Amino acid sequence: MSLFSLFATILISLNPFSKGETLNFDVYYGFFKLGTMRMRVIRKDTLRNHNVFVVMMDARSEGAAALFTVADTIYSYIDADSFYTLRYIKKLKEGKFHDSLMIDYYQDSGFAIYSKGRKRENLLHGAVDPLGLYYYIRTVNLKSKDTLYVPYHVDRRNKKAKIVIEGIRSCKDRGRKTKCFVLKPDLSGGIIKGGGKAEIYLTADSLRLPVYMKSHLYFGSLKVKLRSYSKATFIEKSKGFISNSPENTRDEKKCKNSSDK
């Protein structure tokens, strides 16, 4: 799975993001910049009679690192009430490795259906996907020294990710000092290659922005730093959700089509 797939928690109490929010990151291996990553809340929609947030992540290599091309795009359909995953779409291009897949999560029925072969797999209730974890964790009422166990499903595997909330520390958010929750997820056991150890710094305010993330690999570590943040620039006129949004991007449709092959 992608190097950029990490992290989650439980105890939902916040909803710090909305349609239009965009987070732009720089990705480093040590001091060497590998590329960029973007996370965006594309739209609100409906899926199987559930209101959902449709979020996306894309990662691109650049400069000398582009000799090993990375062009990953991932979509997650997140239930707007529970923040559990209902659908996961990925299209990965990492060097010579290419992969496309769509997974539908049927939370109430306890199974997931994979687009390739229409195979059915068991699903832990409340499971999230790799991208959905980033957003799920931002909805959590975090408490220092807590240890959380979160259902997680990807690549036909069910796990419970262990997340230790170490406490609040000073950190830098785009050059400014602020306070951050420090989380240490352990996604080992086959979910994350390279041992599964990671650190996440979330701002200790209502936005819960992921300003810094670090994933320990077999050799060295991968670091992701927030470069810019833009929130939604509109006011919602109602609490209704929009179906068949014109913002259903061409890339998303391509992911769906290619995963069905």
* pLDDT (0 to 100) of residue 94: 84
* pLDDT (0 to 100) of residue 203: 94
Residue numbers in the chain where pLDDT is lower than 70:
1-15, 64-67, 187-196, 232-261
* pLDDT (0 to 100) of residue 125: 94
* pLDDT (0 to 100) of residue 44: 92
3-state DSSP assignment of residue 12: strand
* Integer Rg of the chain from CA: 17
Pairing of strands 50-61, 71-79: antiparallel
Beta strands in 187-257 (DSSP E): 198-203, 210-216, 221-230
Q: Amino acid identity of 191?
A: I
* pLDDT (0 to 100) of residue 3: 41
Q: What is the pTM of this model?
A: 0.81
In angstroms, the CA 95 to CA 70 distance is 6
* Main-chain phi, psi angles of 71, to 5 degrees: -145, 80
Neighbours of 4 (CB within 10 A): 23
* pLDDT (0 to 100) of residue 186: 78
In angstroms, the CA 223 to CA 211 distance is 11
Judge contact between 139 and 12, C-beta under 8 A: yes
Q: How far apart are the first and last CA of the chain?
A: 19
Query: Residue 221 to residues 68, 141, 181, 213: CA-CA distances in angstroms?
Result: 17, 28, 20, 10
* pLDDT (0 to 100) of residue 254: 62
